[in-house]
Amino acid sequence: MRNFDILSETALQLPTGVFSGVESYTCFESGELEGIRLAEKNMLITHAGELVPAYTENHRRKNKYSVEFYKSGMVKAVTLDEQQEIQTPLGEFLAETVIFFETGELRRFLPLDGKISGLWTEEEERALGIPFSFEFPFATFTALINSVSLYKSGAIRSITLFPGERINLQTAQGEVVVRHGFALYENGALESLEPAQPSTFQTQIGALTAFDPDAIGITADENSLVFDKHGRVIALTTVQDSVAVQTPEGRLVTLSPREVINPLDNESLMTEGLRVLIDYDAGTVTFCSAQGKTVVPFPGSGFTVIPYTGVSLSCKPTDCASCSLACA
């Protein structure tokens, strides 16, 4: 990435139009324009309507481009000078940042996009928010949202909630209180959500309590509790359950969450969840645990869910770096 400051604001001719008052620009290593910062008012015509990219100083504003581009020269994202109404397949919404697919369709919009810092608090950002109302077959709610993500078709991909917001969603196994947000399949079926509290679900291997205390929630495109298009649980994270497994060969193994050193203080313990992935087509269950990644066929295996009570660490904090596991 290469940065260029322009000594006096100038105009740039791009496939998407002419931008005046370009203050600085950045290029990819391969030379294509990556982003520009503007010091004059410009109007950009997009699938979301006529947008005014950021060109004035704002103490809330993140250090972002006014306009960001794909290598092809198509507009990738626009940081708006101020919150304005945009056109979406769902109707009109207020937005401060708009993101597009390379083919021009609206991909995501953020109603608010302030920089949370010592100079601007989350409470101050929340005070600027306007609740939006949504109606789905599985829920009707009004809430402050961080972003809405869309498929190219215009169908909703995900809705990310503002921090602290909670909504109730109806699943095939009952109502769940949700934090962070939820994602949908393109046909509108519920794909995943982030439980706000431990919630029990029946699975192929028994009743498991789903909850991921480490869920980040930057976007709700991916969440810890995942369903297939039939409403069956195919993935979850639990910090309350262990699973004892007897394999078809008679091998016995117990898969559990684990206690790790809290990186915030390097002293206290925190529970890292057990990740459970169920593949109905392959007939397997995959566990990501302290023992590593374990794949077990569910035809012919026996599963017993038992409460996880926690264990003490026998290793030193410096050993934890070698214990980290990944399970997609």
Length reported for the chain: 328
Which tokens in the block code for residue 229? 């298009």
Q: What is the pLDDT of residue 325?
A: 38
pTM for this predicted structure: 0.88
pLDDT in tens, 309-327: 876 443 444 443 433 334 5
- Residue pair 205/192 in contact (Cβ under 8 Å)? The answer is no
Cα(248)–Cα(253) distance, integer angstroms: 12
Query: What is the residue whose two structure tokens read 């002419």?
Result: 18
Work out the number of other CB atoms within 10 angstroms of the CB of residue 252: 9
Query: Which residues does residue 81 pair with via DSSP β-bridges, in sequence order?
Result: none
- Residue pair 168/175 in contact (Cβ under 8 Å)? The answer is yes
Query: What is the residue whose two structure tokens read 């480490």?
Result: 214
Q: CA 233 from chain center: how many Å?
A: 19
Kindly state the DSSP code that residue 286 receives in the 8-state scheme: E
How far are the Cα atoms of 89, 90, 148 from residue 153, in angstroms, in the given order?
A: 9, 11, 14
Q: What is the dihedral of CA 171, 175, 176, 178, to 10 degrees?
A: 90
Per-residue pLDDT of the chain (328 residues; tens, 9 = 90+): 666 565 456 888 887 788 999 999 999 999 999 999 999 999 999 999 999 999 998 888 888 999 999 999 999 999 999 999 999 999 999 999 999 999 999 999 999 999 988 889 999 999 999 999 999 999 999 999 999 999 999 999 999 999 999 999 999 999 999 999 999 999 999 999 999 999 999 999 999 999 999 998 899 999 999 999 999 999 999 999 999 999 999 999 999 998 888 877 887 888 899 999 999 999 999 999 766 899 999 999 999 999 998 764 434 444 434 333 345 4
- Residue pair 128/94 in contact (Cβ under 8 Å)? The answer is no
Which tokens in the block code for residue 64? 């972002």
Which tokens in the block code for residue 102? 């390379």
pLDDT in tens, 129-184: 999 999 999 999 999 999 999 999 999 999 999 999 999 999 999 999 999 999 99
